């Protein structure tokens, strides 16, 4: 008999009162009941950092957008039961589209945004999709599926009125009857099989997951309230059921906020956690692994948590959590004092990794589930977690262990089958239990422990079972082992334990196997081993699970790729070789995309380059590199004889060429791109402090602008174009004199005047930013001009001939987050005789990347007030004309800048004489 453990969901009956101190949980017939309750809130719900600026949306805004998109779906002829493919990166619009489909009874078919277009075509054909909803980070143009395509990016911005030409949209259609057994989504799991399987998930399946969790959380609402809002940084794909649950369902139970970010660089993750005051990180274990290496490098004292072999570092004694917290307070300060937990899923958590973060005083929570269980089976209680366990079954779920050790699950959360009703679905549920294929055990308290996969379990000739994970842990504990996988290899009719290794030194294979075997039982000992010459073993893209089927087939084939020796002659090749997956034909002309790196592997490559060359690599320039040779020049590799090649930067490698030639500063920090996005200067933040704002707010109307009006007699036209606008916006103005900024501030309505930042050329302040060799007098006057402009006009520098486009966009995005608008002069220089110079592509990039309307502004007559050659202004008339706002889309930034320039030139037909 197998071990059997279950918890039944005890719902309150009609009129029954919940326990004292416990908040009542509303009845949920379908997921739409949850949606309607959640979207009555007005607090912050979804935050998206797209790498340039941050977009924030309230619960009620998300609800309104979902209803609007649902109406569009109805108007487009989609009906209940139709399938819609949802293929996009994590972003608020993904959740809007998800709820919009559910409101109309439309079946959502989520696909991981990293999937190939061919897979999207294949799955779309299987479900007979009627529509494709595509994100910005996917190759939608490569999809041949013959269905309409809607961009996700517009689904919230158009609700704000930022996307013109679409009109108010259709009215709200009649409601669609939805039941608990209606299909909500079909999630395809491809794994290593040729034919993907679509798991049918109903409203009942998901409710069986979220209602027990909601009831449990209700017990602690009054304790959680002082720490609210609870913010989640969700790095799991929304196409994965666990990532979906931790963004769409769990945070609303707490009135929490979910943050999505584009970057997976560890420094960016830590910065995001600190800046957004994140409480909980949601990710795959691999993210914690990457963060562990980042923390060890940044805080060497953390090596004492798990001292490396032969390091001589004494391990720490066992301590209470508060002592560990105090010992590693520098780490906690780096993450921010609100951060306390990581919730991991989608892949097994290495006990050593869990122990590391626990040793620092952080809580790591893991659970267990499958796509077929929508997705949760067991979950560790945050206040009663047990290390190594995946927790207890949630209410309403039964778990038992079969005689052969397989975990069996039964409950309303279990899917009723696969799309199309495959025989496998019938076979696995013939006895009423879901056969998970996982091997595990239950302790006396009902906690579940996972030992491995049943089909991956190795049976020795002696009839003993070997779980690959146990042997892999012994291998990974050996020095010099970067990765390891254990599979069963058949030899003379018997199954033997075989190791596939990725080693720093392939010649050390015998030592590694011997060391691991010394800690293993006789039946677990490794009988044979192979060297895998790639950077990493093959894993699935989303969950990072080992592709054991492929590894077993490779091992059985007996093929042994030649091991390319690593020498110290070429440090870049040493790094690249770890990621080249066994290729021996990689040279400087090899396109990086042909290395087939996953998103996390790209992050690991970036970190490896930093470590090898002892430099700081900018992510934007790294992403812009196209070949291995680009990486060589970007890191400034002098050892390979390519020292004189121009270093590409995010600016010079960008398609648009937004910032022109790259400047070189001999004393700038050595980073990827030279002076580039490494930011050799800090953008001013002090001038946005309350004291600076109020000094500026008092000075402008009392003496600065009145003084300007003595010289500039300003006539304003086109103010009506600003009346319907909501900030922030970009004012793109012609540049005629040093009087332009006060003149334009005079022309702006009051609500814009005191909430606008001014961009000024950084090169104008060369004596301040690069004082070497500059006369002392010029350094003092130039520095004074910089600080006075920053203080009284809320100005900041933009590099024109130096790289730094990405960092500049990031700073402008922060201004927009604070409600500030931007005044910029796209010509980049003052006019000589009143002519309009060509607009630089940067204005196109700002308008498109940051998603803000651009208002063309034409300034006339200011060059007569204060000409370039004049030292003192001459009083006179000035005309300022505002045009209709432009909404820029696309990545041809030069062409977009041309649109703005044409709009400005068209404003010169006024009858007012100057």
CATH match of 456-557 with 3.40.50.720: no
Give CA torsion, residues 592, 233, 413, 12, to 10 deg.
-170
For every residue of 308-350, DSSP letters joined together read PTTS-PPPPPP--HHHHHHHTHHHHHHH-TT--EEEE-SSPPP
pLDDT attached to residue 574: 72
Alpha carbon distance 626, 467 (integer Å): 42
For every residue of 526-562, DSSP letters joined together read --EEEE--SSS--B-TTT--B-HHHHHHHHHHT--PP
How long a stretch of residues is the chain?
Answer: 914
pLDDT attached to residue 517: 84
Alpha carbon distance 200, 371 (integer Å): 9
Residues forming CATH 3.30.300.30 domain(s) in the chain: 456-557
Q: What angle do CA 173, 174, 175 make, to 5 degrees?
A: 115
pLDDT attached to residue 393: 92
pLDDT attached to residue 681: 59
pLDDT attached to residue 8: 41
Q: Are strands 465-466 and 458-459 parallel, antiparallel or unpaired?
A: antiparallel
Query: Residue 878 in 3-state DSSP?
Result: strand
Residues forming CATH 3.40.50.12780 domain(s) in the chain: 31-42+56-205
- How remote is the C-alpha of 403 from its chain's centroid? 43
Alpha carbon distance 616, 783 (integer Å): 28
pLDDT attached to residue 526: 87
- How remote is the C-alpha of 234 from its chain's centroid? 8
Alpha carbon distance 814, 792 (integer Å): 19
Q: Is the peptide bond before 728 cis (omega within 30 degrees of 0)?
A: yes
Contact criterion met (CB below 8 Å) for 11 and 25 = no
Alpha carbon distance 390, 349 (integer Å): 9
Alpha carbon distance 165, 186 (integer Å): 34
Give CA torsion, residues 92, 98, 99, 104, to 10 deg.
150
For every residue of 703-733, DSSP letters joined together read IIHHHHHHHEEEEEE-GGGGTT--S--EEEE
What's the predicted TM-score (pTM) here?
Answer: 0.75
List b or e across 322-331, with b for residues whose CB sees 16 or more CB atoms inside 10 angstroms. Answer: eebbebbeeb
Measured between its terminal Cα atoms, the distance across the chain in Å is 97
Supply the CATH classification number for the domain 686-905: 3.40.1130
Residues forming CATH 3.40.1130 domain(s) in the chain: 686-905
For every residue of 861-875, DSSP letters joined together read SHHHHS-TT-SS---
pLDDT attached to residue 806: 66
Tokens of 94: 């993904």
Contact criterion met (CB below 8 Å) for 419 and 81 = no
Alpha carbon distance 811, 907 (integer Å): 30
Query: Which residues of the chain, if any, have pLDDT below 50?
Result: 1, 7-21, 159-168, 191-194, 423-427, 463, 560-569, 581, 637-680
- For domain 571-653, the CATH architecture is Orthogonal Bundle (1.10)
- Residue 406: is it exposed, middle or buried by C-beta count within 10 angstroms (0-12/13-18/19+)? buried
E-only strand ranges, 29-182: 44-49, 54-58, 83-87, 107-111, 131-134, 149-151
Contact criterion met (CB below 8 Å) for 410 and 433 = yes
Alpha carbon distance 362, 366 (integer Å): 13
Query: Residue 307 in 3-state DSSP?
Result: coil
Alpha carbon distance 415, 434 (integer Å): 9
Contact criterion met (CB below 8 Å) for 252 and 38 = yes
What HEC string does 240-280 produce?
CHHHHHHHHHHHHHHCCEEEEECCCCHHHHHHHHHHCCCCE
Query: Residue 677 in 3-state DSSP?
Result: coil
R_g of the chain computed on alpha carbons: 30
The number of CA neighbours under 13 Å toward the Cβ of 765 is 23
pLDDT attached to residue 604: 66
Domain topology for 31-42+56-205: Rossmann fold (3.40.50)
Alpha carbon distance 598, 546 (integer Å): 14
Cβ-Cβ contacts under 8 Å for 609 (sequence gap 6 or more) = 575, 615, 617, 622, 631, 635, 672
pLDDT attached to residue 822: 96
Tokens of 630: 């680009």
């Amino acid at each position: 008999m197998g071990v059997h453990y279950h918890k039944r969901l005890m719902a309150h009956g009609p009129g029954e009162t919940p326990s004292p101190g416990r908040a009542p949980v509303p009845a949920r017939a379908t997921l739409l009941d949850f949606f309607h309750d959640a979207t009555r809130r007005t607090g912050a719900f979804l935050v998206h950092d797209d790498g340039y600026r941050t977009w924030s949306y309230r619960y009620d805004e998300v609800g309104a957008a979902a209803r609007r998109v649902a109406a569009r779906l109805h108007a487009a002829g989609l009906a209940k039961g139709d399938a819609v493919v949802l293929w996009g990166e994590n972003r608020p619009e993904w959740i809007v589209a998800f709820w919009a489909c559910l409101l109309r009874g439309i079946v959502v078919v989520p696909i991981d945004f990293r999937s190939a277009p061919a897979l999207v075509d294949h799955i779309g054909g299987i479900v007979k999709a009627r529509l494709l909803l595509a994100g910005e980070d996917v190759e939608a143009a490569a999809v041949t599926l013959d269905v309409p395509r809607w961009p996700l990016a517009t689904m919230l911005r158009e609700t704000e009125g930022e996307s013109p030409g679409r009109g108010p949209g259709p009215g709200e259609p009649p409601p669609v009857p939805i039941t608990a057994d209606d299909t909500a989504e079909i999630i395809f799991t491809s794994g290593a099989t040729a034919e993907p399987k679509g798991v049918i998930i109903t409203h009942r399946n998901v409710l069986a997951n979220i209602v027990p969790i909601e009831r449990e959380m209700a017990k602690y609402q009054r304790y959680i309230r002082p720490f609210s809002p609870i913010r989640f940084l969700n790095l799991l794909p929304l196409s994965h059921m666990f990532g979906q649950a931790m963004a769409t369902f769990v945070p609303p139970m707490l009135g929490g906020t979910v943050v999505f970010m584009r970057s997976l660089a560890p420094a960016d993750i830590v910065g995001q956690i600190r800046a957004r005051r994140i409480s909980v990180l949601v990710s795959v274990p691999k993210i914690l692994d990457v963060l562990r290496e980042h923390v060890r490098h940044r805080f060497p004292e953390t090596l004492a948590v798990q001292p490396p072999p032969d390091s001589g570092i004494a391990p720490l004694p066992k301590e209470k959590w508060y002592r560990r917290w105090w010992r590693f307070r520098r780490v906690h300060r780096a993450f921010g004092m609100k951060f306390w937990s990581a919730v991991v899923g989608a892949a097994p958590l290495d006990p050593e990794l869990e122990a590391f973060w626990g040793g620092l005083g952080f809580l790591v929570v893991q659970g267990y589930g499958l796509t077929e269980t929508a997705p949760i089976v067991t979950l560790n209680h945050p206040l009663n977690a047990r290390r190594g366990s995946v927790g207890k079954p949630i209410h309403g779920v039964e778990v038992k262990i079969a005689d052969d050790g397989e975990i069996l699950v039964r409950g309303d959360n279990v899917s009723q089958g696969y799309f199309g009703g495959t025989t496998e679905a019938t076979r696995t549920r013939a006895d009423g239990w879901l056969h998970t294929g996982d091997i595990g055990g239950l302790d006396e308290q009902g906690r579940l422990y996972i030992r491995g996969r049943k089909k991956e379990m190795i049976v020795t000739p002696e009839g003993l079972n070997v779980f690959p994970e146990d042997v892999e842990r012994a291998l990974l504990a050996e020095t010099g082992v970067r990765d390891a996988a254990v599979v069963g290899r058949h030899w003379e009719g018997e199954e033997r334990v075989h190791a596939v290794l990725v080693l720093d030194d392939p010649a050390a294979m015998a030592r590694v196997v011997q060391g691991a075997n010394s800690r293993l039982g006789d039946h677990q000992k490794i009988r044979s081993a192979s060297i895998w010459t790639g950077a990493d073993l093959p894993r699935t893209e989303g969950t990072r699970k080992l592709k054991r089927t492929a590894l077993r087939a490779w091992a059985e084939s007996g093929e042994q790729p030649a091991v390319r020796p690593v020498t110290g002659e070429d440090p870049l090749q040493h790094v690249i070789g770890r990621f080249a997956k066994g290729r021996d034909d990689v040279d400087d002309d090899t396109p990086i995309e042909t290395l087939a790196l996953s998103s996390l592997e790209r992050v690991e490559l970036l970190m490896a380059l930093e470590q090898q060359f002892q430099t700081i690599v900018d992510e934007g320039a790294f992403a812009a590199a196209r070949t291995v040779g680009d990486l060589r020049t970007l890191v400034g590799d002098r050892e390979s004889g390519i020292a004189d090649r121009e270093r590409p930067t995010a600016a010079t490698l960008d398609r648009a060429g937004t910032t022109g030639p790259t400047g070189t500063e001999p004393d700038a920090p050595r980073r990827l791109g030279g002076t580039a996005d490494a930011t050799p200067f800090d953008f001013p933040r002090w001038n946005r402090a309350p004291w600076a704002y109020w000094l500026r707010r008092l000075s402008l109307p009392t003496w600065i602008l009145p003084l300007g009006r003595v010289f500039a007699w300003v006539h304003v036209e086109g103010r009506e174009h600003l009346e319907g606008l909501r900030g922030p916006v970009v004012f793109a103005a012609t540049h005629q004199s040093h009087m332009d900024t006060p003149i334009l501030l005079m022309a702006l309505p009051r609500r814009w005047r005191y909430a606008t930042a001014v961009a000024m050329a950084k090169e104008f302040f060369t004596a301040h930013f690069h004082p070497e060799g500059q006369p002392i007098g010029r350094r003092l006057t130039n520095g004074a001009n910089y600080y006075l402009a920053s203080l009284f006009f809320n100005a900041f520098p933009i590099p024109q001939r130096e790289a730094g486009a990405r960092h500049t966009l990031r700073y402008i995005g922060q201004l927009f987050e604070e409600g500030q608008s931007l005044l910029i002069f796209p010509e980049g220089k003052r006019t000589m005789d009143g002519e309009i110079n060509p607009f630089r592509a940067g204005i196109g990039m700002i308008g498109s990347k940051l998603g803000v309307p651009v208002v063309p502004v034409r300034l006339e007559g200011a060059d007569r007030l204060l000409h370039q050659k004049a030292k003192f202004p001459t009083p006179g008339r000035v005309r300022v004309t505002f045009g209709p706002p432009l909404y820029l889309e696309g990545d041809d930034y030069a062409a977009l800048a041309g649109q703005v320039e044409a709009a400005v030139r068209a404003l010169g037909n006024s009858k007012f004489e100057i």
